[in-house]
Chain A
Amino acid sequence: MRRLKILLWSVAHALGVAATLSSAWIASAESPVFPSVNEAEYTYGPGQPLYAGMVPDKTTYTIGTSSCGTVSCHGGPKSENHDVQTFSYTIWMNNDPHSKAYEVLYSPRSRTMARQLGLGEAHRAQQCLACHSMQDQSRAPLPAEVLADGVGCASCHGDSANWQQMHTQPEWKQLSKVQRESLGYRDLSGTVARVRNCLACHVGDASHEVNHDLIAAGHPRLTFEFSAYQRIWPRHWSPHNTLESQKDFAERSWAVGQAETLRAVADLLETRAQRASDDIEHRALGIPQQWPEFSEFDCYSCHKALGSESYQASRDEAVQSRRFGQPQWQPWYVSASQLLSVQFDSNSPINRRLDVRKSVIDIRSLLDTEWSASDQKRLQGIIFEARGVSRAARLAADEFSQQPHIILNRSNQPMSELVVENPQAWQTWDSAVQMYLALEASKRAGPAMLGAWRSDVQTEEGMDLGQSLDAMRASLRFPLNMDSPQTFQPTRFHQERSEVP
């Protein structure tokens, strides 16, 4: 019996290999000889391929990670003697959670979620596959082996159908960035491009959305902070000649990440408010189906057991919000905007100092007071303000990425002072974590950043920054088996924060 199985397996395998070989042969037979690269000869632009005629139909054809991860290409063994690029697939496969993104759709939790949401099977539901694999809403269903890649090479580097052949050739190196991008290759050498790449899933947009229904059914909430994610993500590229080699990488990734993320958050709010507005126009009874969208607001404003700790009357007066019983809009994403805006030189000709902050304040004055209002007038107001935030944040991100060198303490205002002056910035768990992450980034950046960090400074108790950051981190951690900051106390956090040198 066993022997029969082995036999069957080997026959099947042989057939598979033969099929792969033949398709590879056909593909190579069809691909034209590379023309010499001269940009002027070719037209290109968005949606217009550089080499017309050689491009297979993108909606039906996708190459999975297996074609990138051969041993001689990107799937070599990990070794200090070789360039990281030769084993980037290996790192992705072994260490990167993105490679398990599809697998997780088979987990008991995913099944429960899909059942509760009426999605059928999670690994077949478009809503899940949009982020957990590469299944775009607009394209034909992908073959199972491509779906199974999860978030693979093509998810970030672009669908390689049009350039996979070419980029194995020496000519690839001579192609310009624009030429490469016209083939569908995504250039990730700039900070903004890199951040933007993550945001479609890690914040979401119209076709990739983690809403409150999904979270209630069991999906983890999204908490994206670019510089921290970059730090913990197993790096499958060389730090030389890339963003990491820049001296101000820590500052830049923090600042650009914050600004660009805020842009995506504002865009998502606009999408949602627009959808609600359309619902009022077109649906029966004029009911907006997903508004208010709870995931736009601070989770723990509501998700706190009614206990003496959360009991409003016992709370520190300084921490109480202006309106009672109203949740805050997106403290995770907007708390750093306060810090961001002061990083601009107030004397600079492009004085956007007030823009990000003011736009955020404007949007909050709308959303924090009557967060569930759903009349057309208010929705239009929210859309208008969201566009304002988006524009300001985009400009800020561009500004940060274009500056030759970023020193974040241009205003010469130490961060600790900013935090003390601005109790809004630490009153929620979300914003407290953002403060912690900013300090953490400043620690890596060294003395240049934020003017707050000097490794030789010690507190009276003899703690250095590393130790006090550890203490801060501990106070932010959720209790065992909890998914909310049951024991977090803003006042105590504030005290600990003031002890950081």
Chain B
Amino acid sequence: MTAGRFLCVRGILVVGMCAIVFQLVSAMPARSDEEDTPARSSLAFKGANLCVRCHRSEQSDWVDLSTTATWRHDAHSRSHLALLSDNPRTQAMEKSLGFKAEKNKNCVACHTHSALEPLIEEETSVLHAGISCESCHGPSEAYFEKHMEKSWRFLASSEKEAFGMHDLRDPVSKARNCLSCHLGDIGSDRIITHQMYAAGHPPLTSFEIESFSNAMGSHWKRVWDKSEKIQRQAEAADYRTEGACQSQRALIGSLVALQQSALFVGDYATAAKINPKENVWPELALYDCQACHHELQIPSWRQKIGSGDLRPGRPSMVHWPRMLSGVALRQSGATTDVDSLLSPFATGLNLRPFGSPDSVAPTLEELILSIATATDALKKWNRDETLSVRESALIALLCEAGMRTGDFESARQIGWVMVLALKSTREWPENVRKAKILELTKLLSLEFPHPAYPTLSDSSLNGSSRDDPFWKTTLAVTPRVNMARVHAAFQMPPLDDTLLNSLEFLPESNDTQKEAIAPPLPVP
């Protein structure tokens, strides 16, 4: 047993004996504060060990009680280990940065529950359970007793929210929840500064919520996966299930990411105006990593494609949510496009490299409103009999976007959704879809390691294997990606029988091929 594990277990025991009350820093983005009930922000975490007592037995009918087992295999349960000083990378980073990771609010905010600075001093089990139940589902102080009652399950999400339980069935609020760490959120101190990256923090990759959820391993069940009896009960109680199908949820995720990336810059700019000493401007981590961090090439496709609204040579905002968001907006029937939504930012960045706090904190109401309209439209796309055809239309849009991508991270995000859509459409023959999935997966390195984060004590940085953490694979792949090939890969063969028959069958060598493709449609 490693020292980290030991600490973790000890921590859980400690909290089992004494429940320590914590102040909650909202896990939701800062902007949603107004919507939140005032009580919410003062709710306390009780610790995962209380949840584990129930959510660990054999599968039951209503609740998937194997949750704990799934979560234990999930890297989130070990995220706090990265903060411990016995990790060589942490040691190196702490030496360079001059602070202890365990005591730093930015580190703690993502690697365990978010917590305010004074609370970091107290070493507790809550800090030593990684990203656990309450990190996503909300602090359980108010709902802990309540949610064990039978009536709880038929409460509407908004009613549960009042008790502090986050609504993770809503794709928008789920995406916000994940992105507050996976992209950043100034209001909850969730930011990896450029100095932290330069000292050795792995880069954040583009984030596609559905593929990441799948890779994480779902510790929940959808209503249609549950027994018929439960399904009947749910229907009778008008129980709201997850609405949109998976690819639509992915598109919603990208729109939320776009919004978060704008808020990320805007919120930081506001913070920099209030306290310029602490929030030094510019913070390079607000911008797209690959805007600067790319090898220079001749001829340069970057120069060929141009930089859109931006003057050449001006670092852009986080770029990866933009391409897929463009697809999402078109799919939702929105009249606006990403460029015009973000044009206030482009103006600010053109005025000066990195902009200035005054120029990049524009009013975001229009952006927030347009994105809300689009996500509402997308939520209505249900799993019905027209799914296959709709997915084909989506594929066409994805292909078009994929062929225009300027950076690897955007292409990858599109690739993940493309795979989801290819799996559920039936417009192309199975072998064509399989071959395309294989090609994209290989080229864009879409596969996740199993389990997602196998170990944190990695010693070698060079080379990567299937078992490496995801970020390591990304680091190894990114410099070698040939964008011309990526663009070529985003081309679906036309729906022409003669052409399809001439295509070769690929050897069954990859796990991807074993996965179910286009499962039978659920009975509506």
Q: Say yes or no: is B282 at the interface (Cβ < 8 Å to chain A).
A: yes
Looking across the interface, which residue of chain B has its beta carbon closest to that of A305? B479
Max chain A C-beta neighbours (<10 A), residue from B292, B314, B359, B463? B292
Q: Say yes or no: is A72 at the interface (Cβ < 8 Å to chain B).
A: no
Q: Choose one: A218, A309, A326, A484; the contact of B303 (CB below 8 Å).
A: A218
Q: Which A residues from 166 to 190 make CB contacts under 8 A with B?
A: none
Max chain B C-beta neighbours (<10 A), residue from A217, A307, A323? A307
Contact, CB under 8 Å: B352 / A287: yes
Contacts of B290 in A (CB 8 A): 306
Looking across the interface, which residue of chain A has its beta carbon closest to that of B92? A313
Contact, CB under 8 Å: A215 / B313: yes
Looking across the interface, which residue of chain A has its beta carbon closest to that of B348? A287
Chain A binder among B160-168, B194-202, B391-399:
B194-202
Contact, CB under 8 Å: B297 / A289: no
Give Cα A467 to B472, complex, Å: 39
Q: Say yes or no: is A213 at the interface (Cβ < 8 Å to chain B).
A: yes
Q: Say yes or no: is A112 at the interface (Cβ < 8 Å to chain B).
A: yes
Contact, CB under 8 Å: A307 / B476: yes
CB distance from B185 to the nearest CB of A (A): 21
Contact, CB under 8 Å: B307 / A486: no
Q: Choose one: A211, A299, A324; the contact of B96 (CB below 8 Å).
A: A324
Contacts A216-B312, A308-B462: A116 and B303 contacting too (C-beta < 8 A)? Answer: yes
Contact, CB under 8 Å: B352 / A213: no
Contact, CB under 8 Å: B297 / A483: yes
Contact, CB under 8 Å: B282 / A372: yes
Q: Say yes or no: is A206 at the interface (Cβ < 8 Å to chain B).
A: no
Contacts of B295 in A (CB 8 A): 303-305, 482-484, 486
Contacts of A211 in B (CB 8 A): 313
Give Cα A218 to B295, complex, Å: 14
Contact, CB under 8 Å: A116 / B351: no
Looking across the interface, which residue of chain B has its beta carbon closest to that of A118? B311
Q: Which A residues from 259 to 313 make CB contacts under 8 A with B?
A: 285, 287-294, 299, 302-313
Give Cα A313 to B89, complex, Å: 7
Q: Choose one: A323, A325, A326; the contact of B197 (CB below 8 Å).
A: A325
Q: Say yes or no: is B356 at the interface (Cβ < 8 Å to chain A).
A: yes
Looking across the interface, which residue of chain A has its beta carbon closest to that of B91? A313
Interface size class of A (residues with CB under 8 A): 35 or more
Interface string of B453-473 (1 = CB under 8 A from A): 000000001111000000010
Interface string of B471-508 (1 = CB under 8 A from A): 01001101110000000000000000000000000000
Interface string of B172-206 (1 = CB under 8 A from A): 00000000000000000000001101111001000
Contacts of B476 in A (CB 8 A): 307-308
Give Cα A483 to B296, complex, Å: 5
Contact, CB under 8 Å: A314 / B461: yes
Contacts of B297 in A (CB 8 A): 481-484
Q: Which A residues from 181 to 240 make CB contacts under 8 A with B?
A: 211-218
Contacts A217-B313, A313-B89, A325-B284: A307 and B351 contacting too (C-beta < 8 A)? Answer: no
Contact, CB under 8 Å: A216 / B89: no
Q: Say yes or no: is A140 at the interface (Cβ < 8 Å to chain B).
A: no
Q: Choose one: B96, B200, B353, B356; the contact of A294 (CB below 8 Å).
A: B353
Contacts A116-B306, A306-B293, A324-B96: A287 and B356 contacting too (C-beta < 8 A)? Answer: yes
Q: Which B residues from 227 to 263 make CB contacts under 8 A with A?
A: none
Contacts A291-B352, A307-B479, A482-B297: A302 and B306 contacting too (C-beta < 8 A)? Answer: no
Q: Say yes or no: is A8 at the interface (Cβ < 8 Å to chain B).
A: no
Q: Say yes or no: is A319 at the interface (Cβ < 8 Å to chain B).
A: no
Max chain B C-beta neighbours (<10 A), residue from A287, A290, A310? A287
Looking across the interface, which residue of chain A has its beta carbon closest to that of B352? A287
Q: Say yes or no: is B21 at the interface (Cβ < 8 Å to chain A).
A: no
Contacts A116-B306, A325-B195: A287 and B461 contacting too (C-beta < 8 A)? Answer: no
Q: Say yes or no: is B304 at the interface (Cβ < 8 Å to chain A).
A: yes
Give Cα A208 to B312, complex, Å: 19
Give Cα A370 to B295, complex, Å: 24
Contact, CB under 8 Å: A307 / B198: no
Contacts of B207 in A (CB 8 A): none
Contacts A302-B292, A324-B195: A311 and B475 contacting too (C-beta < 8 A)? Answer: yes
Q: Say yes or no: is B97 at the interface (Cβ < 8 Å to chain A).
A: yes
Contacts of A112 in B (CB 8 A): 303-304
Q: Say yes or no: is B300 at the interface (Cβ < 8 Å to chain A).
A: yes
CB distance from A273 to the nearest CB of B (A): 14
Contacts of B472 in A (CB 8 A): 308
Contact, CB under 8 Å: A313 / B461: yes
Contacts of B71 in A (CB 8 A): none
Contact, CB under 8 Å: B461 / A303: no
CB distance from A300 to the nearest CB of B (A): 8
Give Cα A212 to B292, complex, Å: 12
Q: Say yes or no: is B358 at the interface (Cβ < 8 Å to chain A).
A: yes
Contact, CB under 8 Å: A306 / B475: yes
Q: Say yes or no: is A125 at the interface (Cβ < 8 Å to chain B).
A: no
Contacts A116-B306, A116-B312, A215-B313: A483 and B298 contacting too (C-beta < 8 A)? Answer: yes
Contacts of B327 in A (CB 8 A): none
Q: Which A residues from 105 to 125 make CB contacts under 8 A with B?
A: 112-113, 116-117
Contact, CB under 8 Å: A213 / B479: no
Give Cα A313 to B304, complex, Å: 34
Q: Choose one: A288, A308, A481, A486; the contact of B461 (CB below 8 Å).
A: A308
Contact, CB under 8 Å: A285 / B312: no
Contacts of A305 in B (CB 8 A): 293-295, 478-479
Contact, CB under 8 Å: A217 / B200: no
Give Cα A372 to B282, complex, Å: 7
Max chain A C-beta neighbours (<10 A), residue from B352, B475, B476? B352
Contacts of A292 in B (CB 8 A): 353-354
Contact, CB under 8 Å: B293 / A325: no
Q: Say yes or no: is B8 at the interface (Cβ < 8 Å to chain A).
A: no
Contacts of A218 in B (CB 8 A): 300, 303
Give Cα A306 to B476, complex, Å: 8
Contact, CB under 8 Å: B296 / A302: no
Interface string of B286-329 (1 = CB under 8 A from A): 00011011111110100110110001111000000000000000
Give Cα A240 to B134, complex, Å: 84
CB distance from A315 to the nearest CB of B (A): 10
CB distance from A317 to the nearest CB of B (A): 9
Q: Which B residues from 334 to 367 make CB contacts under 8 A with A?
A: 351-354, 356, 358-359
Give Cα A34 to B364, complex, Å: 75
Contact, CB under 8 Å: A486 / B479: yes
Contacts of A113 in B (CB 8 A): 303, 312
Contact, CB under 8 Å: A285 / B292: no
Give Cα A288 to B475, complex, Å: 35
Contacts A285-B358, A311-B461, A324-B198: A213 and B314 contacting too (C-beta < 8 A)? Answer: yes
Q: Which A residues from 431 to 489 make CB contacts under 8 A with B?
A: 481-484, 486
Contacts A306-B479, A486-B479: A288 and B352 contacting too (C-beta < 8 A)? Answer: yes
Closest 6 CB pairs of A and B: A216-B313, A325-B198, A305-B479, A324-B198, A483-B296, A307-B479
A-B contact pairs, 16 of them (CB 8 A): A116-B306, A288-B352, A289-B352, A294-B353, A303-B296, A305-B294, A306-B290, A307-B480, A310-B293, A313-B92, A313-B199, A314-B462, A323-B195, A372-B353, A372-B354, A481-B298
Known: A292-B353, A313-B461, A324-B96. 15 other contacts (CB 8 A): A112-B303, A116-B312, A216-B313, A287-B356, A288-B352, A306-B289, A311-B461, A323-B195, A325-B198, A325-B199, A370-B280, A372-B282, A482-B296, A482-B298, A483-B298
